[in-house]
């Protein structure tokens, strides 16, 4: 796995919009904060473009992302927001340059698709706050955690809930948004979960759809040989007009009950201001205990 270097003051960070369209000036806070960290912010030429749902035409979003990957002076690439759009363009992105000059790619939600493509090519990425996250004052702690990871290679997340299945393991980590993980199945960028910690988050889905997606992961063998399973934020989950009969937590617990690997809910990962960064492809120590759980990155020397 290729891990980009730590950032230093004076480095350049690009902000690009590979997915949904932005509101005007929605990156002002990100630019201000990143500049205060000593970074030089480079905005993609089409970052504020609009094309119906998307942040510009596919060709323009490809061009901005490719330019950020190809430019040797760019040390990190921050995605502006999620939504939808990466799946339409990612197979047209050339990755040779980012392999030669590794740089952190940062984002979550729809960016899960890009992270899985990078991971399958042996390039680590950061699941974490995006450009529009910086304007949310409640995200301050998560953004500071991103700063620590980028500059100092430190990352530790706690879940203040009793673990479902206790255990202490060390393994690589993969994961992201549940819908995008399921969408990867049967594609060249299909998620590889074997002997890994899998983390999952989701937003605005009905309970029966969560059950359906977990059943698909189960049938695809993606839950069989995990090292551990951790669950982040499941935000704005809708029971639907007809009750499903189980909560979303019960759905996951019941599916995972036949496995002995560590399982914990309550990690601050996903569609909430408390969205702490995770290094996809990184080696992590997961400690699931009776009262709380911790997830800590073992950064490569």
The answer to whether 141 and 277 are in contact (CB under 8 A) is no
Residue 5 covered by a domain: no
Do 143 and 162 reside in the same domain of the chain? no
Asked whether the whole model's pTM tops 0.95, one would answer yes
Kindly report the backbone phi and psi dihedral angles of residue 240, in degrees, each rounded to the nearest multiple of 5, phi listed first.
Answer: 90, 170
With respect to residue 197, please indicate whether it lies within any of the assigned structural domains.
yes
Specify the DSSP class assigned to residue 39.
P
Q: How many CA atoms lie within 13 A of 140 on its CB side?
A: 2
> If you average pLDDT over residues 100-106, what whole number do you get?
97
| 85-89: average pLDDT | 97
pLDDT of residue 219: 98
Q: Which domain holds residue 20?
A: 12-152
- For every residue of 76-87, DSSP letters joined together read EEEE---SS-HH
Domain identity same for 59 and 168: no
123 and 245 housed in the same domain:
no
CATH number of the CATH domain containing 228: 3.50.30.60
Q: What is the DSSP letter of 17?
A: -
- Do 166 and 291 have their domain in common? yes
* Residue 301 clears pLDDT 80, i.e. is over it: no
For residue 212, what are its two tokens?
């359906």
Number of domains in the chain: 2
pLDDT value at 185 more than 90: yes
> Which CATH number covers residue 43?
3.40.50.10740
**Helices (runs of H) and strands (runs of E) counted in the chain:** 9, 13
What pLDDT score was predicted for residue 241? 80
Average pLDDT over residues 82-96: 96
pLDDT confidence bin for 300, thresholds 50/70/90: confident
In 3D space, the residue among 259, 265, 284, 88 whose CA is nearest the CA of residue 180 turns out to be 88
Query: Does 282 lie in the same domain as 214?
Result: yes
Cα gap 70→96, rounded to integer Å = 9
Amino acid 91: pLDDT: 92
pLDDT, tens digit (0-9, with 9 covering 90-100), for 12-63:
999 999 999 999 999 999 999 999 999 999 999 999 999 999 999 999 999 9
Query: What pLDDT is stored for residue 242 in this prediction?
Result: 87
Q: Are strands 228-235 and 263-264 parallel, antiparallel or unpaired?
A: parallel
Phi first, then psi: give them for residue 106, nearest 5 degrees.
Answer: -120, 135
Contact 49, 17 (CB under 8 A): yes
Residue 4 lies in a domain: no
53 in a structural domain: yes
Residues 238-262: tens digit of each pLDDT: 887 888 999 999 999 999 999 999 9
- pLDDT tens, position by position, 257-287: 999 999 999 999 999 999 999 999 999 999 9
For the annotated catalytic residues, the residue numbers are 109, 201, 271
Q: Cα separation of 286 and 293, whole Å?
A: 7
User: What gap in Å lies between CA 244 and CA 16, rounded to an integer?
Assistant: 39
**Same domain, yes or no, for 97 and 190?**
no
Residue 100 and residue 174 in one domain? no
Residue 105, H or E segment: strand 104-107
**220 falls in which pLDDT band (50, 70, 90)?**
very high
Q: What is the mean pLDDT of the chain?
A: 97
Is residue 204 situated within a structural domain? Answer: yes
In the prediction, which pLDDT does 94 show?
A: 97
Task: Decide which of 152, 182, 200 is a domain's last residue.
Answer: 152
Residues 82, 182, single domain; the answer is no
Residue 27 lies in a domain: yes
Whether 6 maps to a domain, the answer reads no
Final residue belonging to a domain, choices 118, 152, 186: 152
Asked if residue 94 belongs to a domain, the reply is yes
Residues 130 and 189 in one domain: no
Which of 130, 152, 174 marks a domain boundary? Answer: 152
């Amino acid at each position: 796995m290729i891990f980009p270097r730590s950032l230093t003051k004076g480095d350049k960070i690009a902000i690009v919009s590979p997915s949904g369209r932005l509101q005007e000036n929605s990156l002002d806070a990100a630019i201000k904060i990143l500049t205060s960290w000593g970074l030089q912010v480079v905005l993609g030429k089409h970052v504020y473009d609009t094309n119906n749902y998307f942040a510009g035409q596919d060709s323009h979003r490809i061009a901005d992302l490719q330019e950020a990957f190809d430019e040797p002076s760019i040390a990190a690439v921050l995605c502006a927001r999620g939504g939808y759009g990466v799946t339409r363009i990612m197979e047209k992105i050339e990755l040779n340059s980012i392999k030669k000059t590794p740089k952190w790619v940062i984002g979550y939600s729809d960016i899960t698709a890009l992270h899985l493509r990078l991971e399958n090519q042996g390039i680590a990425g950061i699941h974490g706050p995006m450009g529009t996250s910086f304007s949310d004052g409640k995200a301050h702690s998560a953004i500071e955690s991103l700063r620590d990871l980028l500059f100092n290679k430190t990352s530790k997340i706690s879940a203040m809930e009793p673990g479902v299945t206790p255990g202490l393991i060390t393994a690589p980590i993969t994961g992201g948004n549940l819908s995008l993980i399921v969408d990867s199945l049967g594609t060249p960028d299909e998620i590889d979960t074997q002997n890994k910690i899998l983390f999952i988050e989701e937003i605005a889905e009905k309970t029966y759809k969560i059950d359906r997606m977990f059943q698909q992961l189960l049938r695809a063998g993606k839950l069989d040989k995990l090292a551990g399973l951790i669950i982040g934020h499941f935000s704005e989950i809708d029971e639907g007009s007809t009750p499903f009969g189980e909560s979303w937590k019960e759905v996951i617990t019941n599916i995972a009950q036949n496995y002995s690997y560590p399982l914990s809910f309550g990690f601050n990962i996903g569609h909430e201001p408390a969205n702490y960064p995770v290094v996809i492809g990184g080696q992590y120590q997961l400690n699931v205990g009776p009262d709380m759980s911790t997830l800590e990155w073992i950064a490569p020397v």
